[in-house]
Amino acid sequence: MILDIYKDSFEFASRKISILLILGVLSFFNILVIPLIFFCGYNYRVVKLSTESMINGEDVPPEFNDFKQMFVDGLKLIVVLLCYLIVPFILIAISISGNSVNVALFLIGIILLFVARLFSYLAIPHMAVNGDSFKSAFALSEINSIMASIGYLRYIIFYVGLLLISCSIFVVVFLILSFILAILGITVGGVYISLIGTILINLVLLFIVSPYLSLFQNRCAGLVYNLGS
């Protein structure tokens, strides 16, 4: 079933190239607040659609419209993630500040970050299926029940697999592009081609890989939530 979720999500993310291009532009400008909000709002829409879907269905990414609602949804998603992740991030930041690293505090921060991410990953679809209720995103007992219904070990394996797949795609694309550009660098030579190569790699990662993985990950969120709902 986990493999079916991955397979469905891979296919879903590649069914509408126009959406990938739009998300690619938003991803490139994510350092700015407004594009980031719309990027998150669209991904929330993907989660919501996926909670209403069947695994191995024929769903396509939703339309990029209704900008007012998308903006509101994006703000909600960002606030939910910040609320879940702010404490672990603060602990990690404190642990590595100064001249030495507080290993114990750093490990605590990493563990809390992982646990918070497990809950927040289900909190978004839980909010979506409960009428976009912001309060539902923090109904920890309900979210824990969903997680228990999925199976704690099964859910952890699913989430770790999701992280490994996402990281692997980034690394593989980076290595392939680096290899191709290294050959071109040997042919053309000079620092200039290296600079161009670095820019091209970053553009591919931002415009193609990042939006594709965002669709993949958020599709997975809605589908895995359905296993426990």
Alpha-carbon Rg for the chain, nearest whole angstrom, is 19
Determine contact, residues 177/200, Cβ cutoff 8 Å. yes
Residues 2, 220: Cα–Cα separation, whole Å: 9
d(C-alpha 45, C-alpha 70), whole Å: 8
Phi, psi of 102 (to 5 degrees): -85, 95
**Please, what is the average pLDDT of the chain?**
88
Q: How much is the pTM? A: 0.88
Residues 140, 146: Cα–Cα separation, whole Å? 10
Structure token digits, residue 217? 């990950």
The per-residue pLDDT for range 6-28, each reduced to its tens digit, is 999 999 998 888 888 899 888 88
Mean pLDDT across the stretch 53-61? 84
Complete DSSP assignment for 181-209: HHHHHHHH-SHHHHHHHHHHHHHHIIIII
From CA 224, how far away is CA 141, in angstroms rounded? 18
Model confidence at 74, pLDDT cuts 50, 70, 90, reads very high
Question: Rounded to a whole number, what is the largest CA-CA distance in the chain?
Answer: 60
In the predicted model, is pLDDT for residue 84 greater than 70? yes
Contact 85, 117 (CB under 8 A): yes
pLDDT in tens, 180-210: 777 766 444 444 556 677 778 888 888 889 9
Residue 187: the pLDDT is 43
Nearest CA to 45 out of 22, 26, 61, 25 is that of 61
